[in-house]
Amino acid sequence: MQNTQTNRCWRVALGGLFLATLAGSTGCQSLIGGQVLPSPWYQTDDVQYYAPGPEFKLSREAAAQKAFKEEKVPDVDQQ
């Protein structure tokens, strides 16, 4: 009788330890707006920041085309 109770205590203790380890390793995560927040490592992750660029992506190309058009305009007085 004593041996059966001891085995049961060990099984319960090991099962509890297993469940505690499993719960601790998963973290507490939730899906909000397409993002998984927070993960267990959210305080140690590096911040990814991309500085905003110009609103019009082809500003240099537009300036070059404008300069080219101004350069090519024929003078009406010379004709």
Q: Helix (H, G, I), strand (E, B), or coil: what is residue 16? A: helix
Q: Where are the domains of the chain?
A: 1-45
pLDDT in tens, the chain (79 residues): 578 888 888 999 999 888 888 776 666 666 778 877 776 676 777 777 878 877 878 888 999 999 999 987 666 665 5
Which tokens belong to 1?
């009788």
Tokens 């004593």 belong to which residue?
2
Question: In this predicted structure, what is the pLDDT of residue 43?
Answer: 72
Total residues found in the chain within this entry:
79
How far apart are alpha carbons 47 and 77 in whole angstroms? 62
Which tokens belong to 32?
């909000």
Question: In this predicted structure, what is the pLDDT of residue 2?
Answer: 72
- The pTM assigned to this predicted structure is 0.34
